[in-house]
Structure 1
Amino acid sequence: MASGGPAADDGGDSDGDKGGVRAALSGLTTRGRSFLAAGVAAAVCAYVLGQADLLRVGLLLAVLPLVCVAVLYRTRYRVAGSRRLTPSRVPTGSEARVHLRMDNVSRLPTGLLMLQDRVPYVLGPRPRFVLDRVEAGGRREVSYRVRSDLRGRYPLGPLQLRLSDPFGMCELTRSFSAHDTLTVIPRVEALPAVRMTGEASGYGDGRNRSLALAGEDDVIPRGYRHGDDLRRVHWRSTARYGELMVRREEQPQRARCTVLLDTRRDAYQGAGPDSAFEWAVSGAASALVHMLERGFSVRLLTDTGNSVPGEGADGFAGATQETADSAGLMMDTLAVVGHSDGAGLSASYDVLRGGNEGLLVAFFGDLDEDQAAVAARMRRRSGAAVAFVLDSETWTRGRAPGQGRAPDAARLTARVPAAAEERVRPLREAGWTVLIVPPGMPLADLWRMAERQRTGSGAYPAGGAAGTTGGWS
């Protein structure tokens, strides 16, 4: 919820007051200027002709718009506005509602008000509301909806209020200083609960090695990590190594999963909500949420070697944070992720080769011979690796010109080009489970197919075996 008074509330500086008075006089409407001009003309004529009654009429005509200006000039300090956004994070194509509230904190009623909120073009038309007279101490509440098919972070505000006097002599526009931000995240698709290699549960650092637990001398220490219990400090090792060391203890640890998103500009063709890159971003978001919900400790990694900042140890989130917070942090990152200018996957490979990363789920764009070889080497230290490859040739062949998503029947029967299969052959030979994604194919169907291909139960129909060209089942 954002709130605040008008930005012009400067507290009485003399130069600011002069500027405010000039701004208020510039707000005179055509009616107000006409009254003022008529009053001045009447006063001049009264002086020339010596008519006292005409002078009184002229003064009345001239003073009325000036009084309206003075009243509106003081009103700017006595109106408060606030904005409430529900929810502040929405998937693409979903709506959020913005609630606006105006409070008259003065002792005098207001005149006619026009309320306007500034929103980006992609969220829809600029909302405008006309508020009738607001009594002293009263308030008015209005709301409007925003929606975007493009992910991103969009500012809302500042809120603008146009004040008008009852006689229509003056109109002033005041802006409030508060802003809000609407985060439009990728659409998340519910995925089926299939079993992937590397999902087995384990315990602590002892899951991959046997720890000697016979006595304190046999305890294998490790370096202190932020958040470790100080009661686990191993003082003998600390003195030996000159840095704080803690005992390795048998404690539950979640299985790990790395979701790799290829963002290379050269790897994708097309733009817009139905482009291959947006499908990959949505797929990565769906995989992240699904694996977090299944109890995995998850890391989001891009081809640049960067992971989501502010996460737990080694860049993984979920083991020490609440699942909702971890998912929200990654969704915010995916909401603004764009194309990188990198030409290869070497940076992400350098991150992955540092240790056993558990399950690896990758969303690749076009892979040439060199990048396919780099991607194949990522599999060596992973418990399992699943690749969804969005080949440009497949997407170009799968969508007719001038059409959006292909019909369901066409998607399910589209044949994978032989050239695309040849490009991903190094991944299959390295042990990857590879699926070449046709345009608009639901990730849930591909998720099931990946499990069937991994277990050898057949992800392809008759006439096509895993690793060869065939139709989608």
Structure 2
Amino acid sequence: YVLGPRPRFVLDRVEPGGVREVSYRVRSDLRGRYPLGPLQLQLSDPFGMCELTRSFSAYDTLVVVPRTEPLPPLRLAGEASGYGDGRQRSLALAGEDDIIPRGYRHGDDLRRVHWRSTARHGELMVRREEQPQRAGCTVLLDTRRIAYQGGGPGSAFEWAVSGAASALVHMLERGFAVRLLTDEGSAAPGGDTDGFPGSVHESAESAGLIMDALAVVGHSDGGGLSRAHDVLRGGDEGLLVAFFGDLDEEQTAVAARMRQRSRGAVAFVLDSGDWTRDGRTAAPAAGSERLRLLREAGWTALPVPPGAELARLWQQAGQEGPGVRSSAAGTTTGFSGGRS
């Protein structure tokens, strides 16, 4: 019933072999996966003396993805290392000895056959095309149940989900290879701890997979961010954009350590107490303290007030930058002003 009342149609006097076409529109303000159908027919004679009911088993599925907000283009910090503008960087191939062949696939150009490797492996091998290396971006979504209060389309959690979707779409449009990471340590697409697509074609497919995942993402029962931290410390993660709920002192320290393996890190922190009616009971001093700790660790950390526009916060992050130099890494991070 989230999609509205069940549609009912009365078709009067359908002649033998006749065709009638009916349609209805569904709409939902709540993301999710909803079944449509199955169709049920009730047939009766003009006098109402006989009635037959027929039900079909086939049904369709409607996926309502989160709302996305267009974000302004900004030049990201670390551009000199290839993480700023998202342009593709080709791997240099020094010569014939550096070419790694692969097995022949139907449709490959026969002019790319590598005969030396073919003789060595006993099967047709072709030279692999130059592979573009793409800048990576991880969007971290905090889904912990204890980190959010309230529910519904206007809740803090739904804002975080919509914000993560907007950031993912924006970075994909800029040419980044992106992945979605949750506090439970699961990455999408891929379902493993890597999750980064390897080509532009894979990125187009991953966009749909990520949005499908965000359409049904719910609260986790976990109490911490340690699993996500374990995934992020496995290597150089490029740019990190995080959407955090309530953070206590311990989880703020864990989030601060996530910054160490990233070229740039931006955090949007939601105080769910401000998003509920009892927001007067929130502790502004505690919120300011956790933001200060994140900024000292090198994050560009911004508080998210109720009903805030992500585009405006995104622009603010680009203007402010990290504001604090990281004492651990000795580098600055965040956004830098400019146009891409």
| TM-score (normalised: structure 2) | 0.80
Aligned residue number for residue 439 of structure 1: 306
Counterpart in the other structure of 1:154 = 34
Amino acid at match of 1:303: D
Does residue 203 (structure 1) correspond to residue 83 (structure 2)? The answer is no
Give the secondary-structure state (helix, strand or coil) at the position aligned to 2:26: strand
Residues 346-366 of structure 1: CA deviation (Å, up to 9, x unaligned): 111111111111111100001
Moved over 6 A (4+): 220-224, 229-235, 246-249, 397-401
Q: Following the alignment from structure 2 to structure 1, what is the Cα–Cα distance between the partners of residues 235 and 17? A: 64
Q: Residue 400 of structure 1: CA displacement?
A: 8.5
Counterpart of 1:376? 256
- Distance, in Å, in 2 between the alignment partners of 1:349 and 1:130 is 58
Report the secondary structure of 1:139's partner residue. Answer: coil
Q: State how far apart, in whole Å, the 2-side matches of 1:173 and 1:370 are.
A: 61
For residue 123 of structure 1, what is the aligned residue in structure 2?
A: 3
Q: TM-score, normalised by structure 1?
A: 0.58
Show the counterpart of 2:297.
430
Which secondary structure state, in structure 2, belongs to the residue aligned with residue 315 of structure 1?
coil
Partners in 1 of 2:116 and 2:140 — Cα distance? Answer: 37
Contact 2:300–2:322, Cα closer than 8 Å, also in 1: no
Partner of residue 231, structure 2: 351
The CA deviation string for residues 163-217 of structure 1, in whole angstroms up to 9 with x for no partner, is 01122211121111110111111111111111112224352566xxxx8x3673x
What are the Cα deviations for residues 26-56 of structure 1, in whole angstroms up to 9, with x where unaligned? Answer: xxxxxxxxxxxxxxxxxxxxxxxxxxxxxxx
Alpha-carbon distance in structure 2 between the residues aligned to 1:364 and 1:313: 20
Number of equivalent positions: 308
Contact map agreement 1:398 1:439 (CA 8 A) in 2? no
Secondary structure at 1:172's aligned position in 2?
Answer: strand
> What amino acid sits opposite 1:307 in the alignment?
A
Partner of 2:333: none
Contact 2:34 2:62 in 1 (8 A): yes
Corresponding residue number in structure 2 for 1:9 = none
- Higher RCO, 1 or 2 (CA under 8 Å, sep at least 6)? 2
User: Partners in 1 of 2:254 and 2:8 — Cα distance?
Assistant: 54
Q: Offset of 1:232 from its aligned partner?
A: 8.1
2:21 alignment partner in structure 1: 141
Which of 154, 157, 175 is equivalent to 1:295? 175
Give the counterpart of 1:331 among 188, 211, 218: 211
Q: Which residue of 1 aligns with 2:56?
A: 176
For 1:240-319, list aligned pairs within 5 A. 251-310=131-190, 314-317=194-197, 319=199
Change (3 A) 1:453 1:428: same
Which blocks of at least 5 consecutive residues in structure 1 are unaligned? Answer: 1-120, 240-245, 402-414, 457-473
Q: Deviations over 1:99-150 (max 9, x none)?
A: xxxxxxxxxxxxxxxxxxxxxx111111111001112222111111212221
Q: Name the SS for the 2:311 alignment partner.
A: helix
User: Which residue number corresponds to residue 246 of structure 2?
Assistant: 366
Larger of the two Rg values belongs to structure: 1
- Asked if structure 1 preserves the Cα contact closer than 8 Å seen for 2:243 and 2:269, the reply is yes
8 Å contact kept, 1:318–1:326: no
Alpha-carbon spacing, 1:231–1:253, altered in 2? closer, same or farther (3 Å): farther
User: Identity over the aligned pairs, expressed in percent?
Assistant: 70
Distance 1:171 1:183, change over 3 A: same
Amino acid in the other structure paired with 1:144: Y
* Pick aligned residue for 1:451 from 318, 323, 337: 318
Q: CA deviation at 1:249?
A: 8.2
User: How far has the Cα of 1:394 moved from its partner?
Assistant: 3.4
Pairs within 5 Å for 1:386-465: 386-396=266-276, 417-454=284-321
Taking the aligned partners of 1:221 and 1:426, their CA distance within structure 2 comes to: 46
Output the CA distance in 2 between the equivalents of 1:313 and 1:385: 19
Tell me: CA distance 1:452–1:397, structure 2 relative to 1, closer, same or farther (3 Å). Answer: farther
Query: How much does 1:255 deviate?
Result: 1.1
Asked whether the equivalents of residues 88 and 132 of structure 2 are also in contact (C-alpha less than 8 Å), the reply is yes
Query: 2:76 aligns to what SS in structure 1?
Result: coil
**Alpha-carbon deviation of 1:324?**
4.2
Aligned-partner Cα distance in 1 for 2:154–2:265: 26
- In structure 2, relative to structure 1, the CA distance for the partners of 1:396 and 1:232 (3 Å cut) is farther
Distance between the aligned counterparts of 2:212 and 2:115, measured in 1?
36
Measured in 2, the distance between the counterparts of 1:123 and 1:180 equals 14
More helix by share: 1
Matches within 5 A, 1:71-110: none
CA contact (8 A) 1:152 1:183 kept: yes
- The SS at the match of 2:208 is helix
Residues 343 and 251 (structure 1 numbering): CA distance in 2 closer, same or farther, change over 3 Å? same
Change (3 A) 1:378 1:231: farther
Measure the CA separation in 2 of the matches of 1:233 and 1:266: 60
Q: Aligned pair in 2 of structure 1 residues 438, 139: CA closer, same or farther (>3 Å)?
A: same
Unaligned runs of 5+ in 2: 78-82, 324-340
